[in-house]
Amino acid sequence: MILYSLIQKVNPRDLEAPRKYYAVKQPQGNVTVWELAARISRESMLGIIETTAVIEALLQSIPELLAEGKLVQLGEFGSYRLTLSSEGAESPETFNVGMITSPNLIFRAGREFQDKLSQVKYSRANNA
């Protein structure tokens, strides 16, 4: 269950228009790698320590593979890839690598992952 509250926002395209209310997700806590490993180990034949090691290895490997220019596909979970942002150049000859400002991390959820998220239920927070 996702908790939300309502906040009133101005329309940035029409500052004179009446403000409208929009849902904003409320914080509901964090999950550590250890807690995630404990949950996964309950559903697998691996212990918490082994599961934690696998998660840590995954978290080390994904950035390394992305830095090699790879697309990282994780089955029905989804995929990670990098795109680039750069300044524009007048011609290919005037472009240099220093004009690349940053890589952008893109996550694309897999179909099963999206289907699970489409079943999320919402509840208005008491303080909203």
pLDDT by residue (tens digit) across 74-115?
999 999 999 999 999 999 999 999 999 989 999 999 999 999
Confidence band (pLDDT; 50, 70, 90) for 127? low
Q: What separation in angstroms does the CA of 61 have from each of 50, 58, 79, 126?
A: 16, 5, 14, 41
pTM: 0.75
Count of domains forming the chain? 1
Identify whether 111 is part of a domain: yes
What is the span of the domain harbouring residue 80?
71-118
Residue 63 lies in a domain: no
Of 36, 75, 29, the residue nearest 52 (C-alpha) = 36
- Domain membership flag for residue 60: no
Whether 14 is in a domain gets the answer no
Residue 114 domain-assigned (yes or no): yes
